[in-house]
Chain A
Amino acid sequence: MTDSVKRAAETPDEPMPFAELGMKQDEYDRVKEILGRRPTGSELAIYSVMWSEHCSYKSSKVHLKQFATKAPKSEALLVGMGENAGVVDIGDGWAATFKIESHNHPSYVEPHQGAATGVGGIVRDIMSMGARPIAVMDALRFGAADAVDTRRVLPGVVEGISSYGNCLGLPNIGGEVVFDPCYLGNPLVNALCVGLLRKDQIKLATAPGPGNKVVLFGASTGPDGIGGASVLASATFEDESQAKRPAVQVGDPFMEKLLIECCLELYAADVVVGIQDLGAAGVSCATTELAAKGTGGMTVDLNLVPLRDPSLRPEEILMSESQERMMAVVRPGDIPAFMAICAKWDVPATVIGEVTDTGRLVMTWDGEVIVDIPPGTAADDGPVYERPFHEPAGQAALNADTPDRLERPADLRATLLKLLGSPNLASKAWVTDQYDRYVRSNTVLAQPADAGMLRISEAIEGAEPTTRGIALSTDGNGRYAKLDPYAGAQLALAEAYRNVAVTGAKPLAVTNCLNFGSPEDPEVMWQFAEATRGLADACKALGVPVTGGNVSFYNQTGSTAIHPTPVVGVLGVIDDVAKRVPTGFTGEGLRVVLLGDTGAEFGGSEWAHVEHHHLGGLPPQANLAAEQALATVLVEAARRGLLEGSHDLSDGGLAIALAESCLAKGVGAEIELTGDAFTDLFSESAARALVVVRPEAYDEFASLCGRHDVPCYGLGVTGGASLVVKGVFEVSVEDLRETHTAALPALFG
């Protein structure tokens, strides 16, 4: 029997399964108050998914506001937070849109499909801004590399990203692979997509104009992912997660590739008034959001939704998270042209409704009204929680347990090799070789470069040529954030910002994926509050606004949360992409120069982690003024053609940066240290980078550094087949390579 609005009015006391759908009693009471009656099953479906943590940001909203209130003034920002993705002006009439999003819980339950649909979802977000998606990146975090379950999760996740992303024809140009026991039951799969569009072609998720048609196009709707938004993304994992398998969506990258080309042709033909992708909460989300941002009303006949499984009930259709679907608002006169383009690409398209000015979202099923709600109440007026928070009980003790007590190594060569061969620092080629980094032929830099870089000139056919390129990096460090979430978030931003700058690109804007435990735990909430405050302050200090992102809560098993893990993506622009700075030592006879100062900072370091399994003390100091000065020097030096190569200093410090620089082209170096060798080599002080310059360019470069107060130390010269640290150790590039490349294949086959 269909639970119609009429029936709901007649049976006010019928019990509704709001708790099973993840809704609290007071939230349910608010729905009744809004509607003046009990909701129908379909209405409950809509409110429960739209008010879930995943869709409504009800626990994070009050903190995320800072990204707007503290936002630095930026002329580059064309579309800020709140849309499907932010859009940034990158010059010459071009705009870039980018966003990072989590697909953590699905990737634990079903690694392949969970990760694959994570890529699919973020790509559709980018498409819905009117852009051509041009690249993806993935920031991945797993449990200990040798843990049994990591051998299930990691290969599945990598294969999912590989099969989906490769089939879409999007180069995968970077990202991270990090291992830590804290992620064992809660892997983090954060997918980033970047797209390009002309500045004047931005599309928005809005349904204006009464009489305009609502078109659902792409894949048909099936039972996959039903309740995914509320059941999967908003509940803590307990032991029954295997039982949740059907809630993970199944992806069809081929349909998504057709959707991309189809959408771009629809945009070019100017037959789209408003557009929204169907992600979490599917039809519920698309209809309420489009209607709420448009004229305010919409009618939908749910019987018209093409189904893969004809037995689906309206409640299930509303909650289904079937992939590869989009919803567009189209002028009636444009419908034939719209349909013809969809037919060319074999993309099914169906008119399912119409825009109205009634202020109500009205849906029918078998001729009966089953939904009649003000759409804004579901889309925008969800609950907002001021969750209590306080510093974790053990925080002071954690910070007091500094690495000072740890025994310093006697054999620094052995320490270097041990770190270089440890899973976090070893070559990630086992993973990244499974991703296509070349498709579309615009990839200037890809992993293992510090940042991915793409040329723009030929990304869209027929568009005005430009010499510009964009660079992107994602970074995060859960250990730093565990020790100090405020500083940890700033350090994540600083590293991504630095990684963009070392390639010669000027950092412009930020996206973030905030991965935390349960917001209902005041100690986790404190970590979240501190991290958002730190990130907002740092964005302001560095002049790079947050354009969007995503919050992933409930990353915990039982009462044990993951390390707080803000992952930050930074997008930058390089005026002439031919002047990009490659990673590492690119030739012999070049001066090796260290930029930035080094202190004895080992809290949360790779050395403490690998050698002593120690986590305590404080993370390195985040010196944002120094980061900004360093970036200014790097960008200006690249513009003047002074840099032959560069590399960011981060995890594992100078030792790892030197080793990776040697490995880039198989060129050794001889360097000399002046301070304590262990500190110089393994400290993780921030705001540092390694560059190589031609000897004749050194003076000009050094004076540029001087002008910006960036400390600049000549360490030695590139050349030979070994990395020689005078008076400390010598190790052949061949040994470095063997150690660096053997680790992951040994673990994963």
Chain B
Amino acid sequence: MSAARVGVVTFPGTLDDQDAARAVRLVGAEAVPLWHADHDLKGVDAVFLPGGFSYGDYLRCGAISRFAPLMEELVPAAKAGLPVIGTCNGFQILCEAHLLPGALTRNASLHYVCRDQRLKVEQTGTAWTNAFTPGQEIVLPIKHGEGRYVASDDTLAALESGGHVVFRYVGNPNGSLNDIAGIRNEAGNVVGLMPHPEHAVEELVGAPSTDGLGIFTSILKNLVNA
């Protein structure tokens, strides 16, 4: 069969798109560039929304990107089951687009923080985490100023009872409620997280960990088995 095709979206101000594309290629999938201004998902099998400062994030992070032409295609596709992951700014965009609940606000420290962060994988039943084992501890870098996950009490309760918290911080770096680092939607095809798996895929560069590979092998496994 032909390689799985994973779309990597570039908004103006997206920064980690090359990194995400490289990680996609590393596991043997094809990385397909998707441009914010196009009404075109190019028939991809899954979509990666990378980090950055889309539109400068001068308004609320991700608040402008959700209105991009590409998002008009992506939102219904995600609701129909297309696997989508958003990291960092991508997570913020998924929340702004209401594909995931809650919001990301300024870190409790009021500082941007770049750090190799220990995480616990809580849910392996998603399109993006099935290569991990439940409860597995991994290290991924975080790098954000607005990563403090907040949601209403009801939403939090629903996330917890539904098993929708996918990643939890071990040592909370930003004041996120319930130590939440990443969540999924009801169906498990949409996942958002603040840490950066694409910076932890090679021994030579990035974080001193290759735990990020699990995200990319998960989607590959998911697509091949589909």
Contact = CB atoms under 8 A, between A and B. Distances in A.
A127 B126 CA distance: 42
B15 A455 contact: no
Contacts of A621: none
Nearest to A162: B112
A443 B115 CA distance: 14
Most buried by B among A167, A458, A577: A167
B13 A257 contact: yes
B22 A434 contact: no
Contact of B22 (A162, A432, A458): A458
Interface string A240-277: 00000000000011110110000000000000000000
B12 A345 contact: yes
B206 interface: yes
Contacts of A436: 112, 114, 143
A163 interface: yes
Interface in A543-581: 577-578
A455 B204 contact: yes
Interface in B165-221: 196, 198-199, 201-202, 204-207
A437 B142 CA distance: 11
Nearest to A438: B199
Nearest to B20: A441
Contacts of A255: 56
B112 A434 contact: yes
A435 interface: yes
Contacts of B12: 254, 257-258, 345-346
Contacts of A346: 12
Given A438-B196, A438-B199, A254 B55 contact: yes
B16 interface: yes
B75 interface: no
Nearest to A461: B18
Most chain A CB atoms below 10 A, which of B112, B145, B201: B112
B61 to A, nearest CB: 11
B178 to A, nearest CB: 24
A442 interface: yes
Size bin of chain B's contact surface: 20 to 34
A433 interface: yes
B19 interface: yes
Contacts of A466: none
Interface in A424-438: 432-438
Interface string B129-157: 00000000000010101000000000000
B52 A169 contact: yes
Given A169-B52, A254-B13, A455-B205, A440 B18 contact: yes
A444 B204 CA distance: 6
Q: Which of B58, B114, B143, B198 has the most CB of A within 10 A?
A: B114
A163 B112 CA distance: 8
A439 B111 CA distance: 18
| Range, interface on chain A | 20 to 34
A166 interface: yes
Contact of B15 (A169, A432, A461, A577): A169
Given A345-B12, A438-B143, A254 B53 contact: yes
A252 B56 contact: yes
Given A166-B143, A167-B13, A254 B207 contact: no
Given A169-B52, A443-B206, A433 B18 contact: no
Contacts of B18: 440-441, 458, 461
Given A166-B143, A254-B13, A434 B113 contact: yes
**Counting chain A CB atoms within 10 Å of each CB, which of B52, B198, B205 scores highest?**
B205
A439 B15 contact: yes
Contacts of A441: 18-19, 22, 198-199, 201-202, 205-206
Interface string A139-168: 000000000000000000001001100111
A558 B123 CA distance: 63
Nearest to B53: A167
Interface string A533-549: 00000000000000000
A437 B202 CA distance: 15
B19 A433 contact: no
Nearest to B202: A441
A168 B53 CA distance: 8
A732 B223 CA distance: 50
A578 B19 contact: no
Interface string A166-208: 1111000000000000000000000000000000000000000
B93 to A, nearest CB: 16
Interface in B100-120: 111-115
Contact of B19 (A163, A257, A432, A440): A440
A700 to B, nearest CB: 25
Given A254-B13, A254-B58, A438 B112 contact: no
A218 B64 CA distance: 21
Nearest to A435: B114
A437 B111 CA distance: 15
Contact of A438 (B22, B145, B206): B206
Contacts of B202: 441
Contacts of B56: 167, 252-255
Contacts of B52: 169
Contact of B114 (A253, A434, A442): A434
A440 B20 CA distance: 9
A435 B205 CA distance: 16
B55 A437 contact: no
A577 B112 CA distance: 30
Contacts of B141: 438
Contacts of A253: 53, 56
Interface string B15-44: 110110010000000000000000000000
A167 B11 CA distance: 13
A484 B90 CA distance: 53
B141 to A, nearest CB: 5
Contacts of B57: 167, 254
20 contacts: A167-B56, A169-B15, A254-B53, A254-B57, A345-B12, A435-B114, A436-B143, A438-B141, A438-B143, A439-B15, A439-B16, A441-B198, A441-B201, A441-B202, A441-B205, A443-B205, A443-B206, A455-B204, A577-B204, A578-B204
Interface of B: 12-13, 15-16, 18-19, 22, 52-53, 55-58, 111-115, 141, 143, 145, 196, 198-199, 201-202, 204-207
Given A439-B199, A577-B204, 7 more contacts: A169-B52, A346-B12, A434-B113, A439-B19, A441-B199, A441-B205, A455-B205
Interface of A: 159, 162-163, 166-169, 252-255, 257-258, 345-346, 432-444, 455, 458, 461, 577-578
3 nearest A-B pairs in the assembled complex, by CB-CB distance: A254-B56, A169-B15, A438-B199
